[in-house]
Amino acid sequence: MSKSAIHTTRYIVTEGPIGVGKTSLTTLFADELGARLILEQAEENPFLSDFYRDSARYRFQTQMFFLLNRYQQQEEMVQPDLFTRITISDYLFAKDRIFAYLNLNDHELALYEQIYKMLEPKIVRPDLVIFLQADTDTLLKRIRQRGRPFEKEINRDYIAAVNEAYNQFFFHYSETPLLVINTSDIDFVHRREDLDDLLKQIMSMKQGTQYYVPKGKR
């Protein structure tokens, strides 16, 4: 797949709820396009496993670590080759607010918003966002299969709430071109034809929101 086919699209972001497969797809895309790969560093958050055990106690520390860590990573990303080489990331900076509004109380959220609004204007906007969807049971199955230690305490109610919050966020999203992909019935990791078809649709993306329809359902 030629990089020139992307035309002016230089910065692509893959997003979606926990367990949807965004890191796997982002890595595959980067390999196919010879792109620079930016991966979220969730494992580096020292509060995350505690958060899944006791969210009320650790929610603010967890959220602030994510916000500042993501911001630092975005700052490091803004180098001259961002504009001459394709860059693909497995997270959108704005998604930090999805979790903030889901987890923080009003007082914590007020402080969070002050800090977020100081950081957000410095973030580079992507040329394309790919939103991956799946039903909650599929997300839970994938989370269990990958077996990350810090996710062992995660429960279904929380995943369902995250899933709904993502759907609401992207239902109203209009900041960039958006490709919505329901991954419940496709396997881009193990079926080459699924990956090729996804890549083809990405290459043909224009403005606005488009919904991916699997090849077998067209």
Domain count, the chain: 1
Find the catalytic residue in 31, 50, 81, 90: 90
| Residue 90 annotated to the active site | yes
pLDDT of 82 above 50: yes
The predicted-structure confidence for 45-81, as pLDDT tens digits, reads as follows 999 989 989 999 999 999 999 999 999 988 887 765 5
**Residues 6+ positions from 159 with CB-CB distance below 8 Å:** 17, 18, 19, 136, 139, 140, 143
* Nearest-angstrom CA–CA distance, 166 and 107: 23
Which of 127, 175, 166, 142 lies closest to 25, judged by CA?
Answer: 142
What is the CATH number for 121? 3.40.50.300
Which of 19, 23, 26 lies closest to 128, judged by CA?
Answer: 26
Q: Is the dihedral of CA 159, 23, 76, 117 positive or negative?
A: negative
Q: Which domain holds residue 166?
A: 3-217
Candidate ranges 37-41, 96-100, 120-124, 153-157; pick with highest mean pLDDT: 96-100
